[in-house]
Amino acid sequence: MGSPLIVPSVLPADFARLGEACQQLGAAGVDRIQFDVMDGHFVPNLTFGPDVIAAVRSWVDVPFEAHLMVDEPGPTLARYVEAGCQRVIVHAEACRHLHRVLGQVRDLGAEAAVALNPATPAHAVAHVLDLVDLVLVMTVNPGWGGQAYLASMEPKVAELRRGLDALDHPVDLEVDGGIGPATIAGAAAAGANVFVTGSSLFAEEAGLRAAVEDLRARAASATA
């Protein structure tokens, strides 16, 4: 695993000034920016779609990833790639034909990734690992930011890390939900190497750059 990657979610940002928030995140040295797309059906909340992502694409150079908390996302995949997302994350639970959808993401020229809700076992992705470059383990039940980290997901992270390390191609392991200074070390020690963080990062009074550097250092020291 390389050095830990810090990926902010813009869910807690001021949506009226999203471009500026992305610019500030880029200046703070984040590795990517994640957009939490929620359809009000797969999860109870409703956020934004590809047009909002496209509107802020030119504000910052870092890669974008769309986390699609969307039922049957197949018909809209191309919109997120056209909006400027280098990676598209779909939920295993939201795709009746997950293998086909991940192949569609790759055919669009984007990196494909699959997310698992807390109740979904690791083996749900056993037969699609050849199609993805990232697996996302949700450490909260998706739908809102600011929820408590589920440490009970760490055994699943460790199980996936063992399986991913046995592959002949690199696959990142990302966690999302309740990640902050008090929780990132446990997730890193379990085997995660990419960390999505929202409310904790935006709440850091010392500023975004200090928060990013602190989280990266805590994750690195947990696996040193």
Catalytic residue among 14, 31, 36, 107: 36
Q: Which amino acid is at 201?
A: L
Q: Determine, following the binding rule CB under 6 A, whether residue 198 of this chain makes contact with ligand DX5.
A: yes
Contact of 187 with 175, CB cutoff 8 Å = yes
- E strands, the chain, where? 5-8, 33-38, 64-69, 85-91, 111-116, 134-138, 172-176, 194-197
Q: CA 35, 88, 218 angle in degrees (round to 5)?
A: 60
Q: Determine, following the binding rule CB under 6 A, whether residue 4 of this chain makes contact with ligand DX5.
A: no
Q: What mask, x for binding ligand DX5 by CB under 6 A, covers residues 51 to 80?
A: ----------------x-x-----------
Q: Based on CB atoms, which residue is closest to ligand DX5, 104 or 117?
A: 117
- From the number of C-beta atoms within 10 Å of its C-beta (0-12, 13-18, 19+), residue 64 rates as buried
Residue with the two structure tokens 């984040």 = 30
Selected binder of ligand DX5 within 178, 183, 208, 218 (CB under 6 A)? 178
Which DSSP category does 195 fall into?
A: E
Span interacting with ligand DX5, options 46-54, 71-79, 139-147, 213-221, rule CB under 6 A: 139-147
Q: What mask, x for binding ligand DX5 by CB under 6 A, covers residues 88 to 127?
A: ----------------------------------------
> Catalytic residue numbers?
36, 176
Give residues in contact with ligand DX5 (CB under 6 A).
Answer: 9, 11-12, 36, 67, 69, 140, 142-147, 176-179, 196-200
